[in-house]
Structure 1
Amino acid sequence: MQPPAGVLAHSPAHGSVEVEESVEVDVPVRTAYNQWTQFESFPHFMDGVERIDQRTDTMTHWVAKIGGVTKEFEAEITEQIPDERVAWTTLGGEVKQAGVVTFHRLDDSKTKVKLQLDYDPEGFAENVGDKLGLVKRQVTGDLKQFKEYIEDRGRKTGSWRGEV
């Protein structure tokens, strides 16, 4: 079975899964990037994310419901370049993932947001969810909700312009 249009996924031998998805948003690249750096707003457009606390410029603490189970984990921003990219990896804990979101200017008022995620499903529920394509569908849905969130607002809720 093929993944949904726009999603690339495969399961390498070591068990990790890669997902790639993108969405075009009708806001300037600066607005899209600035909103993405407001991690504490993620619960507004990411299903399953209950709370994110920004602890430092590079550290975030997540509370998310994954496969019906509430999990908490730390994520470190490993690279951040304004209007271009934000990369992260989880540190220890119950969730193992790394990813990058990139921002591509299409014109003065349109941006392509591309998300690449590499994660290791843990336990029975997450592995079954992976086999059913639930993570891929969730990423697709979250990006569509980000599009609606940023376009409905027409502006960002804040910004962080530092580099990592």
Structure 2
Amino acid sequence: MGTITEAVEVDVPVTTAYNQWTQFEEFPEFMDGVTEIRQLDDTHTHWVTEFGGTKREFDATITEQHPDERVAWRSDQGPNHAGVITFHRLGQGRTRVTAQMDIDPEGFAEQAADKLGVLDRRVKGDLARFKEFIESRGRETGAWRGDVQPPPG
């Protein structure tokens, strides 16, 4: 399993960046290879992705969520991945968004992409597109301000 860490600074307040990130169904607007996400309930999402011509569907659980601070998740089946997005206020109207993901690539194409650094570049590109997406709007498309605690143990 490999770990990818990337960050981007966005010119919006931390609340705006966080609120937009909680709008999972909007991810296809800025995430390469994500074709659909459905929010099933407060802590579960269903993803449809395509990478190297291979379509995958899987469910993920939001394991921790604290407004204006962090969103963490793990896949329930299918591609083995987990991660956390953190939000750091840099000043009024400026936020650092950091993505840290643990990914276990499935299949030959994904393993080759991982070894060639394609997955790292994809995450970096996704964050750059998030920056463009949120800055061009200047405000979030929605918000979920609930708090999800990590599971015990």
Asked if Structure 1 and Structure 2 have the same fold, meaning a TM-score greater than 0.5 normalized by the shorter chain, the answer is yes
Q: How does 1:23-38 map to 2 (within 5 A)?
A: 23-38=8-23
Note if 1:152 corresponds to 2:136.
yes
TM-score by length of 2: 0.95
Equivalent residue number for residue 121 of structure 2? 137
Note if 1:99 corresponds to 2:94.
no
Q: Which amino acid in 1 is paired with 2:125?
A: G
SS of the aligned residue for 1:74 comes to: strand
Note if 1:46 corresponds to 2:31.
yes
- Cα distance in 1 for partners of 2:68, 2:14 equals 6
Equivalent residue number for residue 106 of structure 2? 122
Unaligned runs of 5+ in 1: 1-15
Q: Give the CA deviation at 1:70.
A: 0.6
Equivalent residue number for residue 19 of structure 1? 4
- Cα distance in 2 for partners of 1:80, 1:152 equals 25
Task: Report 1 or 2 for greater relative contact order, CA contacts < 8 Å, sequence distance ≥ 6.
Answer: 2
- Cα distance in 2 for partners of 1:136, 1:65 equals 16
TM-score by length of 1: 0.89
Superposed CA deviations along residues 59-86 of structure 1, whole A, max 9, x for unmatched, are 0000001232110000100000000000
Alpha-carbon contact 1:85-1:103 (below 8 Å) kept: yes
Alpha-carbon contact 1:67-1:129 (below 8 Å) kept: no
Unaligned runs of 5+ in 2: 149-153
SS of the aligned residue for 1:55 comes to: strand
Q: Which amino acid in 1 is paired with 2:9?
A: E
TM superposition outliers: structure 1 runs of 4+ over 3 Å = none
Alpha-carbon contact 1:85-1:102 (below 8 Å) kept: yes
Q: Give the CA deviation at 1:42.
A: 0.2
- Cα distance in 1 for partners of 2:53, 2:89 equals 37
Equivalent residue number for residue 9 of structure 1? none
- Cα distance in 2 for partners of 1:67, 1:59 equals 26
Q: Which amino acid in 2 is paired with 1:38?
A: Q
- Cα distance in 1 for partners of 2:66, 2:72 equals 9
Note if 1:72 corresponds to 2:52.
no
- Cα distance in 1 for partners of 2:128, 2:60 equals 23
Q: Which amino acid in 1 is paired with 2:131?
A: K
Report how many residues are paired.
148
